[in-house]
Structures are given as C-alpha cells and as structure tokens.
Structure 1
Amino acid sequence: MMDWTDRHCRYFHRLMSARTLLYTEMVTAPALVRGGARHLLAFDPAEHPVAVQLGGSDPQELAEATRICCDEGYDEVNLNVGCPSDRVQSGTFGAVLMKTPGLVADCVAAMRAASSVEVTVKCRIGVDDQDPREVLPAFLDTVASAGVTRFVVHARKAWLQGLSPKENRDIPPLDYGLVHEMKRAFPGLTICLNGGVLSLDEAQRLLAGGLDGVMIGRAAYHDPAAILLGADEAIFGVPGRKTREEVVDAMKPYIAQHLASGGRLHNVTRHMLGLYAGQPGARAWRRVLSEGATRPGAGLDLLDEALAALPCAA
C-alpha cells in the first residue's frame, strides 16, 4: 500500500471504523536509522490502534528502527516479508526474506528485545519455485521460535522475477486452504489472512472458518464505506455506524488544519475519491474532487460542491 495508506488516508479510514487495526505504508529501517526520516512516522493520535510496518534485513538496524517507532507511540511493529518489488529485493528485504527464515528469526528477535509493543510478521506463502506446503510451515515454525505469535499471511506466492508488484497481487493463485491448514497446524499462533478479500461478508466467513483475523487492503481503499462503515458492528459487535455525509463533515476540521499548516487539499481528498463507490453520483463526486483539489487555493468549499453534485443533495 505504498503511497496509499499515508496518515491522511488512515485518519479518513479511522472515522469510519473505531476498532479496525490500521497499518502504515512500509517504512524502511535504513531510512529511519541512517536517513533520519522520522517524519515518515508522524500520525494523528486519533488513528489508534495503528501498526507501523518496517522493511529491512539487518537485525540491529531493525532493532533501532523499532525503538524509534515505539517512541513515536505505535501500537504494533510489523516486519514486511511480503513485498516483491525490485527496489525492496535490492535492499534484501520484503518477500525475498522468505528464502532465509533464520535471518527473519534473528531480525524479529532483535526487534522484540527493543520493543515495548507486539512485533508481528506479514509474509507470503512462498516465493518463486518454492513449494508453499513445505516452505510456509517451516517459515512459521522458525520465526515463531523467536517469539512472534501473530502472522499476517498473504495467501499468494510472490514471483521475484518476471512479475511486477502489481501482477504479484493478482496473477499467482490464492490458496486460502493452505492458510487454514496453518491455523490448524499451529493453533497457538494468531493467523490472519490477506489477499483478495473484497467484502465484509467474505471476511466474516473466513473468521467463522477458524482464522484469527483478516487484512483488507485494496478493497478498503477503493470502496472504503463498504468495508469500514459496517466493520465495527459486523466484526466487533459495536454499534454506531456513520453515514458517508457524516464522515465528510468529520473530515472538515482535519482538512482545515492541514490547509492552515500549508498543505494542499489534494493531499487528503485523493484518499476520499472512493467514498461513494457504487452509489448514485459516485462519478460526479470523483470528478469534482479530482479536477478541483489540485487547483491553487482549493479549500473546504470544494467538498460542499462535491456533495452538492450527488443526486441525494438535489
């Protein structure tokens, strides 16, 4: 979710669900430790509970990055062992680490020693020509021996050569059955599934089938209301569902503060384009925001204009 789940996106999503765990974009340990890029960790207190996702492969560097993240107040530190991009591979982290579970165990052991919060791992079921039914249980067993008890498993292999990061999210077939097998094989671990989940109903079915959690990425971004507005009630049994219009109104003070600090409207509203996905007037909503938010001086009145373009406003 690089360039997607930034702090503005997370604030917007939090307004729709108080209980869902939100994740940052992946932040590399070298950027924090050697690059001094602590600004990448900034977030609004309203985002809690929020997890930071780190990328890296040097145990001591990841330990220092974990200390920094804990100082910033994150609720969880997650190690990314799933991203297949060339840029990530060149840094020897992300999905390529599926090939070296011992190194991952060393990394998370160092992270846990430096952390005041839970350290978790997001992984694939395997990479390249690996047999997932051999690789994944061995990976979970090795990394769990270092003290990690919660894993988010993207239920696809990653092909490190020959497929783009986008293709790696769609082309390798999903194997939900294997993730269910891992939960049965490791009942003491918290096993969450990621990959291809498009609705709350599907998430509920997976949870009812024995999994401990479901991570939803692209569907929650492109149609956030369908996923998030009902999540607290459907998943956590907590009432209090908002309307889309109430979410827009609740965003206005945040946007006003962002504009007052020198930010641009587009920084925030680009994450709101899908709010009315599937609803009458969705195209008009997107058009007004996408065409107007980048104009110099664009302000809160553009939100009112976008709302007025919806049929229900007529």
Structure 2
Amino acid sequence: MATKTRHRKPKPGPVETTVQEPLARPAPLPWLTVEVALVGLVVVLAVALRLWKLAAYPLSDAEAGQSLSALALYRGDPLPDTPYSPLMTTLAAAAFLLFGDSTFAVRLGPAVLGVLLALLPLTLRRRLGRRAALIAAFLLALSPTALYLSRTVNAEIGAAAGALMAVTGFFNWMDDHRPRWLYLLAGGLALLVTAGPTALTILLVFAVYLAWQRRALAGWLSAPPAAAPTGDGSGPDSGPQAVPWSRFALFGAGLAVVLATSGGFNPSGLAQLPGFAGAWLARFGWQTLPRAGFNAAFLLAVYEPLVVVAGLIGLTDALLNRDRFRLGLVLWLVIAFLADLLMGGRPQGHV
C-alpha cells in the first residue's frame, strides 16, 4: 500500500524591513541667528523710542530759535541774523520739503541721527567683541540722554553721531585698510564740523588721541595689515588697497559744503562755521552760570546709571589687559569730561 508523503510548507522567515530616516529639513530662516535677532531688536527700539509721539509736545525756545532758520529757508525768506546749526537747518529744510512744515518734520532729522548713533557701535565688533558691541548699541538705544537729544532740535546729536561715525570709520580702517571706511570717516567729519561748537571739543580729543598714538599710527600707515578673509570664509579677498586720500578729502569737503549750504540753497551757512570757535570759547568758565545747561557729570549721575556701570567695567578691563584701544577710549572720556566740567558758560537748553 502506497503511502502519501506530505510536503510541509516552509515557515516564512522574518521579514526584513528597512527604516528610512526622515530627511533633515532645512531651517525655515537659516539667517535668523540670535545675534541677528538682537540687532533687529536694537533697530526696533531705537526707531520706536525716537519716533513715538515725536510731535506730542511743543518746541522749546532753543528749538524754536533753531527752527526759524530752516523755516525761512523753506519759504524762501531771508534767514534770521542769529547763530544756527547749518546741519540742523539743512535736515529740517529737507524734512519740510518732504512732509511740510510741522513739529514732527523739524524733529525728524535729530531722530534719524539718534537711530544712526545707536547702530554705529555694531560696526566695532572686531574691536569691542560681538557681545560688548551689542551692549553698547542697547545702551545708546535706551539712553535717556541720547533719547532727549534725538527727540529735540539741537546740534549736539549731530556732533555725537558725526563723532561716532568718524571713530568707527577710523578704527575699522586701521583694522583692514579698506577705503570704504575712510568714506565713513569723511562723512562723520562732515556731520561733525557742520553741527555746532561742540565739534571743537571732539576734534580736540581726537587730536590728543592721535598724538598719543602717533608711533602706532605711523606703523599702520607704513605696513598695512594682511588681507582680511571674505564673508563666506573661502579665503582672503582683494586685500588692502591704496588709500585714495584725494578722493577721501574731496568727498568729505564736498559733503560738508552740501550740508552747510543746504545743497547750495543757503550759501550763508558757510559763514556760520567760523563763528563756532568763538561760541565754543565762550562756554568755558570756572563756575556754572545761572540757567546754564547741564554738564556731563550731572547727566551721568542722574540719568545714566547703566552707562556708568558699563563704563567702570570697561575701564577695569582696559587697565587689567592693557588694551590700547580701550585705554584710548578711556583717554577720550577723561579729556572730554574735563573739558565739559570747565564749560560753565553753555547756554540754556544745551548739554
């Protein structure tokens, strides 16, 4: 009898499965780093605090006196025979042309300069470091004194913005010898010399600093630094270029003439510049005059505690590390502070 043979089906083995890892999705905003976000916050704060309700309160006597020259220029009338800031007159007349004659328009120029003042420390990241540059920008954006100057018609905000432009252009040029920084320096000097008598204090401090650093400056001029790396990290770019001193001087002088004469519509603005020296000398005195402006010691002690603390930390760091750049800033501060203490004759409404 034949037997039937059953064929057993082989048991299926384990099924091999391949798990595919999900593809990494690129960040939606790869450029949005913490540093970029903080810089954006500085910009928002600086703009908002300077433009918010800019025309909510009337012009002071000092503001009105400065605004009369711009209003006369805008209307084509003869300018009043009183001292004024050519820079502020030019900015106010330009704002009148764009937005009409109003309190907001006449204060718009100082507000723009105040925003510029708050952002300029960000260009000194190589010297100060990224963190210190951001802190300096935040302090200037929130500074009560800087806010006051940015929201009123006065020459001091023009001098401050021009001075910081010149400083950032000068030190960035010393770092990489790129000609573009010289144009920033020239633009800052043009703002400075057309702003008002305060420019002479800043130029004095700048001259003392250059005299102190004359040997180092001679070395920088004779031996430019090596080529700086490009932004993408691929290597050096075209490297240091020849300094176009003639173009730099022509640009600065031309811009100063444009700012002083309101683009040629107010040639008498140039006549105001020589009078800055007499007005500057008249500010010096051993005792504060009645109803005179406040000096820097009072403003720092009352309104700027954060700036004082940050300054003391920076001073300690400069002394411990013997950093010539920061020691130079300390020298600037000391000379400007002493000059300011001697200016007991500043008129009311000036700081």
RCO higher in structure (CA 8 A, sep ≥6): 2
TM-score by length of 2: 0.24
Q: From the two aligned structures, give the one with the greater helix fraction.
A: 2
**Higher Cα Rg, which structure:** 2
TM-score by length of 1: 0.26
